[in-house]
Amino acid sequence: MLTGLYENQIPDDPENSLWNDLCLHNSRKVHDTREGNQVFIEYTEEKEIKVELYQNNQLLDSMLLPGKPKDNYFVIRKGSHFFTLILITSKVSKKTILGNDANADLLLAQGRSSNTMFLESEVGDEGETITATYMRLGDTRPN
């Protein structure tokens, strides 16, 4: 499940990258979208994946993302939180779902939302959904 080497960019979409999509859950690891042309994902154990960013077979960065398998997908929720301060309640939700299509390419569906309430009145509500397909380049990490 999921383990494989994938392209980092989608052709004709220089603004996005697989690595930075996954950085929704670890914002300190964001790279310029021109950095890294390959991402290796390894399903390491039942509750995490290891993600490595490569440029021409040279390792640039790596991160571990906790989550859990669900059916044929892997779900990451790291970075979501809920808190209440006397009269204000805030909820931030971040969710990424990873899976493979029939060609073994990586499917990514991602959502982010935030909601703030003062007493019982909603004062802010934002949301965003992203979907992308990243081409599979192979089964092993670059040498």
Give the pLDDT score at 59.
96
Give the pLDDT score at 143.
78
Distances from the Cα of 142 to the Cαs of 31, 39, 40, 52, 54, in angstroms? 19, 9, 8, 10, 8
Phi, psi angles (nearest 5°) of residue 139: -105, -15
Domain boundaries, the chain: 4-138
Give the pLDDT score at 79.
57
- The bridge status of strand 81-85 relative to strand 88-100 is antiparallel
Give me the amino acid identity at 52: E
pTM greater than the 0.85 cutoff: no
Distances from the Cα of 116 to the Cαs of 50, 83, 84, 89, 107, in angstroms? 33, 10, 10, 6, 31
Give SS3 for 29. helix
pLDDT per residue, tens digit, the chain (143 aa), is 689 999 998 888 878 899 988 988 788 888 887 889 999 999 887 789 999 999 999 999 999 999 988 888 888 876 555 556 666 777 777 888 899 998 999 998 888 777 776 666 666 666 677 788 999 999 999 97
